């Protein structure tokens, strides 16, 4: 059993419920927009920006018809990098519209394999491998394994799981073959929760109560 397998074993032993509501409650296209808004900011601010966005644009055809980036920037300003994210949103919607996918609200994903869907999604400017993997996992119940900052931090602290000098993209490619299907969802959700509450960012993670303490190389005594 390698270290990643040991980590998975500890996750399954120490978590009784694997349930996530924030991303799973959204329709696919809404989640795509939320994932763009969530880049380089907190969940709280991106959620508030998304709420403002939906108030101003109850449907996506309205946004495309208006095609006014300044109004879009104002509606999402609270989450930061609003000009960049507004461009990403319009680019994504126009890309989908040009491919006759907007009207079916990303249902074309159902006709593609995980690998094919990832290749299509990351062609959209502003959608990286993490966002694409999250979209597939939460909106389409696929067995992709998104590596976000929480997971990346935890796995680096535990040590000897990923090759040295690994970035988020390389981490996804390395770990995805090792965890798929329902297990990918379980591990992802559990590590997100661990990263938010225990293996927190900064110098003071709560190592004494972490169930990965026995295998972690960066634990604080």
In a domain, 220, yes or no: no
Q: Per-residue pLDDT tens for 206-220? A: 999 999 999 999 876
Q: For the chain, give the mean pLDDT.
A: 91
Structural domains counted in the chain = 2
In a domain, 188, yes or no: yes
Q: Per-residue pLDDT tens for 97-152? A: 887 665 656 888 989 999 999 999 999 999 999 999 999 999 999 999 999 989 99
Q: In terms of domains, do 53 and 117 share one? A: yes
Active-site residue, selected from the candidate residues 9, 83, 125, 130: 130
Q: Which of 95, 120, 140 is the last residue of a domain?
A: 140
Q: What is the CATH number of the domain that holds 97?
A: 1.10.340.30
Q: Is the pLDDT of residue 5 over 70?
A: yes
Annotated catalytic, 130?
yes
In a domain, 221, yes or no: no
Q: What is the CATH number of the domain that holds 178?
A: 1.10.1670.10
Looking at residue 71, its pLDDT comes to: 95
Q: Is the pLDDT of residue 192 over 70?
A: yes
Prediction pTM value: 0.90
Q: In terms of domains, do 123 and 34 share one? A: yes
Q: What percent of the chain has pLDDT over 70?
A: 96
Q: Which of 140, 156, 182 is the last residue of a domain?
A: 140
Domain of residue 8: give its range.
Answer: 3-19+146-215
Q: What percent of the chain has pLDDT over 90?
A: 72
Looking at residue 17, its pLDDT comes to: 87
CA angle 164–130–209, rounded 5-degree value: 65
Q: In terms of domains, do 132 and 34 share one? A: yes
Q: In terms of domains, do 50 and 127 share one? A: yes
Looking at residue 108, its pLDDT comes to: 85
Q: State both tokens at 18.
A: 């694997």
Q: In terms of domains, do 92 and 169 share one? A: no
Q: In terms of domains, do 168 and 75 share one? A: no
């Amino acid at each position: 059993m390698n270290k990643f397998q040991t980590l998975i074993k500890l996750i399954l032993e120490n978590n009784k419920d694997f349930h996530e509501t924030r991303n799973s409650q959204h329709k696919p296209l809404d989640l795509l927009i939320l994932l763009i808004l969530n880049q380089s900011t907190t969940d709280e601010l991106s959620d508030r920006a998304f709420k403002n966005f939906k108030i101003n644009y109850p449907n996506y055809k309205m946004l495309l018809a208006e095609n006014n980036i300044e109004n879009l920037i104002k509606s999402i300003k609270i989450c930061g990098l609003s000009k960049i994210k507004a461009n990403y949103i319009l680019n994504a919607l126009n890309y989908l519209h040009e491919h006759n996918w907007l009207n079916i609200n990303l249902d074309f994903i159902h006709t593609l394999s995980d690998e094919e869907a990832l290749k299509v999604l990351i062609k959209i400017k502003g959608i990286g491998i993490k966002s694409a993997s999250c979209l597939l996992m939460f909106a389409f119940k696929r067995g992709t394994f998104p590596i976000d900052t929480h997971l990346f931090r935890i796995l680096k602290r535990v040590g000897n799981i990923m090759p040295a000098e690994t970035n988020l993209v390389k981490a996804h490619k390395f770990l995805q073959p090792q965890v798929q299907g329902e297990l990918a969802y379980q591990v992802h959700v559990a590590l997100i929760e661990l990263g938010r509450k225990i293996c927190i960012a900064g110098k003071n993670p709560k190592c004494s109560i972490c169930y990965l303490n026995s295998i972690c190389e960066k634990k604080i005594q």
